[in-house]
A and B are shown apart, each in its own frame.
Chain A
Amino acid sequence: MSLNNFSHELTLFQKIKNYDFILLFCILILGITSIFTMYSTDGGEVLFHTKSHFIKFSIFFPMMIVLSFINIKYWHAGSYLFYVLILGLLVWVALYGVTASGSRRWINLYFLNLQPSELMKIAVILCLAKFFHRIRTTSANSFTSILVSLTIIIIPSILVITQPDLGTAILISFSGLIILWFSGLRIKYFIYSFLIFITSLPFIISFLKPYQKLRILTFINPERDPLGSGYQIIQSKIAVGSGGITGKGFLKGTQSYLDFLPEKHTDFIFTLFSEEFGFVGSILLLLLYSIIIYRIIRAGLISRSFFSRLFCFGFSFAIFLYVATNISMVLGLLPTVGSPLPIMSYGGSSLLATMIGFSIVLSASINHRQNIS
């Protein structure tokens, strides 16, 4: 093969030359921003969340750089194993997991409560990218390939739903489905399944738990119970809206400082950021995420292998999806589903999963000429 001369090992110098420093820099900026924001959620003191987030970021960021030097072909080789491993962890969680606030999501690793469902978001992309890497366009729409790929998506989704954690399950499914989309599954299938979904919506709603129904009702009209279920979203909108163009200033967000904001460390971190830094800050943050997403797509576009391409496009969509759902949620555009803002939100597992994803993307851009057979 004429392309074989590119498959040899790159020297360290070449690796560094190929390295996507823009992406690395953006991730670092985002990480530093998140630590400062966390400092603000702690009321301007270095307390538990700030410390913990700082430690996690300063462990996972170097870890990401180290992992990014692993050749993409090893990621390709280990994809199924990684998927099965995470799936095993999900089963483990279902059996022996740590229960907190009514759902069983965590494995106690003593230094970290690992949430395998977060890792599954990456694993499912990885697994499907490998699966479709090998399949021809003609056979991509065959019954078996659709069946297998759907199984890959559905098994973890069901496990996560039973935790219960509907938000993460939806994000896992969407991350998987986007790979199906990129791998050339007929558009009409998507349209059909969308129509089926719409028509079966009433039945799905009847299966929802009461608190989930309440969330949807609250989303439709938050004012129906302003002190109960609508409280979060109303307070969040007040916080964002009162931020104005330039914000109330660092550490001066009254809504969060005076405890009006719930879950400000995790899902509602954007609200606090937006209150303190205003419209300008929010746009800059969105821009930062846009650059990151663009760099991930670029890494996919320059990659030779379909695996890298599929993974990067899939992962870029996943990042986009997390950001979009989280921000839409805090701005009252979506019902409250528990979805963290990548890197910004407090939470080790989510950070770990995101960092692993980035390291694969960085590896893909280093080894963009790498062919995977």
Chain B
Amino acid sequence: MFDESDNVRKINIINRRLFIITAAKILVFFGLTSRLFSLQVKQNNKYLTLSDKNRIRESKLHPVRGEFRDYFGNVIAGNNEVYQLHIIPEQVEDFRYITLRLKNILNLSEREFQKIHKKRKKIKGWETIVVSDNLTWEQFSKVNNYLHELIGVKTVLSISRIYPFNENYTHVLGYVSQANERDIIDNENIKEKFVPGIRVGKTGLEKTFENVLLGENDIQRFEVNAYGRKISQLNYQKGSKGQDLNLTIDTEIQKLCTELLKDKAGSICVMDIFSGEIIAMQSSPSFDPNLFLFGINQDDWQLIRNNPMKPLLNKTINGRYSPGSTIKPIVALSALENEVINPEFTVHCKGHKHPLELYGQTYHCWKKEGHGFVNLREGMKQSCDTYFYEISRRLGVDRLSETAKKFGLGEKVFGELFENEKKGLVPNTIWKKNALGQSWVLGETIITGIGQGFIQTTPIQLCLMTAQIANGGYKIYPKIVLNNDQQYLDKYKPLFKNSKNIKIIQKAMFSSTNEVRGTSYKSRIDDPKYQFAGKTGTAQVKRITEKDRELDLKTFEIPYEERDHALYVAFGPYKNPRYATSIIIEHGGSGGTTAAPIAKKLFKLIIDRHKLRQSVKEKKYLDI
């Protein structure tokens, strides 16, 4: 039965409660609206970025590495087109079958085959497997023949480093190889530009100039879906090639150096005595840097690594040698500069029967019969040890080391340009006290005077030293990269007290090569156009015992490792000198017989090419 009043009460309750609920609804809808406002209007940028991050994938492509050129613009480290073989697994119907076919076509080893299958398991179907990153032309054409049967396989053109002069520039340029973890950690720039398979410099200038050589990546932007599959390409940002670098080296001379050092362990470097430009710099034995581009195989690597002549060592800047008699110009110069002697100062060399005796030690001249009475010019010419024993005894090691350091010994020639460049060692009394904790002994001064004992130099230091004597005694800074125009305040600063002394040394070196009884007289060139002056050196690698002295063996009779290093430093042409060189042949015997003849062949070419070089230089200035 209806009860009117109850109905009214019921309606009142319902309406009251509806009001409350409706208010709550409005509140909630208002809340949702403000949430939408905050997400879509206020934080729109944040979420838009997140959404783009979701959907856009950037893929960096290999940057094109800058090239190296020699002085004349010939490419010495270039970029080469190579053919790669890619598989996209999802396009392949039967992956095992296709890879087996490829294995047969390309003659892949079982290990390489397994590697492909391992890789397949790691990646998604639409990603690429690089089967080979350097197909030979033969393989390329073979694959192309079968390509219509190999669906999902494609050949791709790519760019890789190439060293057209093979072993000629290995020690200067170094080489590139696949970047490893170490490279990425050490170099922020590599990390930023890293793409799988990127090649970076491992040694030499390739490593030093990594940052300018690398170039900028091309960047492809793709839209991808939630599973990472590429849907479409959004844009393509062109990168730029790395900077090209020009070297001061002349490839023709470099090639001659390589030839002259063939089958020998040693180093040759040639320098312009005014500009400090390195004309050639080769260390032997060398190896082919192209081997490292796609990963060197184990056999080749072992061959290089275990070679007793140490091909991996750049002997020109990393090799430390006793300078032997090539130090004598500096010893003589130091003695003259310090006015310990004058050029007419004479010593009597009596030969092995009457060696110099000091505190019970005997010091022999290299010549059994002795040189008789020698003055400075004769002493240098014949490289009389007794003469230099005497003047270094009078000079003292501290004054000697001061002059030697002034001329560039005992410090890095290229600064930080090459990693691991050796400083060598110019000893003095303070050094010995600090390093060995012992007092200097006079006997050590005596043998330092003939470039033995503690003193150690690199071939490039000897070359610089010779160049600075040849240019009249002015400081120069060697350079190898032409673009690198660093300014030095003390360039061409005189290194002498009296320029007459430099002249005396130059003349003495001239007599050593061009006068009878000179140690390198046999290697002279009479034509004044090519005539050069030099100083031989023969550095002992072991102490000569009394027994050795009695036996007096010829070089070829001594075991290889015990043979003396042959050295030669020279400059030419004698009138108006332009170039200096230092030559070292490890275990080559005496400097006069092994090293000096190399200089003869070398100077011919250097001076023949001088005009050409000069014309390029003039042209370069005209361009400016």
**Contacting B10 at CB < 8 Å: which of A237, A239, A242, A306?**
A306
Name the segment of B32-40, B100-108, B321-329, B558-566 touching the other chain. B32-40
A179 to chain B, nearest CB (A): 11
Docked CA distance A57–B382 (Å) = 114
Docked CA distance A242–B40 (Å) = 6
> Is the Cβ of A324 less than 8 Å from the Cβ of B32?
yes
Question: Cβ of B227: which chain A residues have Cβ within 8 Å of it?
Answer: 259
Chain A, residue nearest B7 (CB): A306
Taking the complex as formed, is A327 at the interface, i.e. its CB lies under 8 A from any CB of chain B? yes
A237 to chain B, nearest CB (A): 7
> Is the Cβ of A244 less than 8 Å from the Cβ of B40?
yes
- Number of A residues near B (Cβ < 8 Å) is 47
A210 to chain B, nearest CB (A): 25
Docked CA distance A300–B46 (Å) = 44
Docked CA distance A182–B19 (Å) = 10
Question: Cβ of B54: which chain A residues have Cβ within 8 Å of it?
Answer: 235, 238, 254-255, 258, 260
Taking the complex as formed, is B13 at the interface, i.e. its CB lies under 8 A from any CB of chain A? yes
Question: Cβ of B301: which chain A residues have Cβ within 8 Å of it?
Answer: none
B570 to chain A, nearest CB (A): 71
**Contacting B13 at CB < 8 Å: which of A137, A241, A254, A278?**
A137
> Is the Cβ of B48 less than 8 Å from the Cβ of A244?
yes
Name the segment of A160-168, A198-206, A217-225, A282-290 touching the other chain. A282-290
Taking the complex as formed, is B47 at the interface, i.e. its CB lies under 8 A from any CB of chain A? yes
> Is the Cβ of A242 less than 8 Å from the Cβ of B32?
no
> Is the Cβ of A238 less than 8 Å from the Cβ of B51?
yes
**Contacting A313 at CB < 8 Å: which of B9, B18, B36, B41?**
B18
Chain A, residue nearest B13 (CB): A184
> Is the Cβ of A274 less than 8 Å from the Cβ of B40?
yes
> Is the Cβ of A279 less than 8 Å from the Cβ of B14?
no
Contact status of A297 and B22, CB under 8 A, knowing A241-B44, A286-B29? yes
**Contacting A260 at CB < 8 Å: which of B11, B25, B44, B55?**
B55
- Number of B residues near A (Cβ < 8 Å) is 40
> Is the Cβ of B17 less than 8 Å from the Cβ of A245?
no
One digit per residue, 1 when the CB lies within 8 angstroms of any chain B CB and 0 when it does not, for chain A 296-331 equals 010011000010011001000100100010011001
**Contacting B226 at CB < 8 Å: which of A137, A240, A259, A324?**
A259
One digit per residue, 1 when the CB lies within 8 angstroms of any chain B CB and 0 when it does not, for chain A 253-287 equals 01100111000000000000010001100110010
Taking the complex as formed, is B516 at the interface, i.e. its CB lies under 8 A from any CB of chain A? no
B222 to chain A, nearest CB (A): 11
Question: Cβ of A297: which chain B residues have Cβ within 8 Å of it?
Answer: 18, 22
**Contacting B33 at CB < 8 Å: which of A1, A178, A286?**
A286
Taking the complex as formed, is A46 at the interface, i.e. its CB lies under 8 A from any CB of chain B? no
Docked CA distance A373–B7 (Å) = 12
Taking the complex as formed, is B231 at the interface, i.e. its CB lies under 8 A from any CB of chain A? yes
> Is the Cβ of B10 less than 8 Å from the Cβ of A279?
no
> Is the Cβ of B32 less than 8 Å from the Cβ of A290?
no
B292 to chain A, nearest CB (A): 40
Docked CA distance A297–B40 (Å) = 31
Interface members, chain A 151-180 (any B CB < 8 Å): 178
Taking the complex as formed, is A251 at the interface, i.e. its CB lies under 8 A from any CB of chain B? no
> Is the Cβ of B35 less than 8 Å from the Cβ of A333?
yes
Taking the complex as formed, is B605 at the interface, i.e. its CB lies under 8 A from any CB of chain A? no
Question: Cβ of A17: which chain B residues have Cβ within 8 Å of it?
Answer: none
B9 to chain A, nearest CB (A): 5
Taking the complex as formed, is A293 at the interface, i.e. its CB lies under 8 A from any CB of chain B? yes
> Is the Cβ of A324 less than 8 Å from the Cβ of B50?
no
Docked CA distance A283–B34 (Å) = 10
Question: Cβ of B40: which chain A residues have Cβ within 8 Å of it?
Answer: 240-241, 243-245, 274, 278-279, 282
> Is the Cβ of A244 less than 8 Å from the Cβ of B41?
yes
Contact status of A184 and B32, CB under 8 A, knowing A136-B3, A241-B46, A317-B21? no
Taking the complex as formed, is B225 at the interface, i.e. its CB lies under 8 A from any CB of chain A? yes
> Is the Cβ of A279 less than 8 Å from the Cβ of B47?
no
Docked CA distance A218–B33 (Å) = 23
Question: Cβ of A293: which chain B residues have Cβ within 8 Å of it?
Answer: 25
A133 to chain B, nearest CB (A): 10
Chain B, residue nearest A135 (CB): B10
Docked CA distance A28–B460 (Å) = 91
Question: Cβ of B226: which chain A residues have Cβ within 8 Å of it?
Answer: 258-260
Sample of 14 more A-B contacts, CB < 8 Å, known A245-B44, A260-B225, A324-B29: A182-B17, A237-B47, A241-B40, A244-B40, A255-B54, A255-B55, A258-B226, A259-B225, A297-B18, A297-B22, A301-B18, A313-B18, A320-B28, A331-B32
Instruction: Enumerate 19 A-B pairs (CB-CB under 8 Å) in ascending A order.
Output: A137-B6, A137-B10, A138-B6, A182-B17, A183-B14, A239-B51, A240-B40, A241-B39, A241-B43, A241-B47, A241-B48, A244-B40, A244-B48, A254-B223, A255-B51, A258-B226, A274-B36, A297-B18, A327-B32
Q: Which residues of A contact B (CB under 8 A)?
A: 1, 136-138, 178, 181-184, 235, 237-245, 254-255, 258-260, 274, 278-279, 282-283, 286, 290, 293, 297, 300-301, 306, 309-310, 313, 317, 320, 324, 327-328, 331, 333, 373
Which 10 A-B pairs have CB atoms at the shortest separation, nearest pair first?
Answer: A241-B47, A242-B51, A258-B225, A259-B226, A279-B40, A184-B13, A241-B39, A242-B47, A244-B44, A260-B226
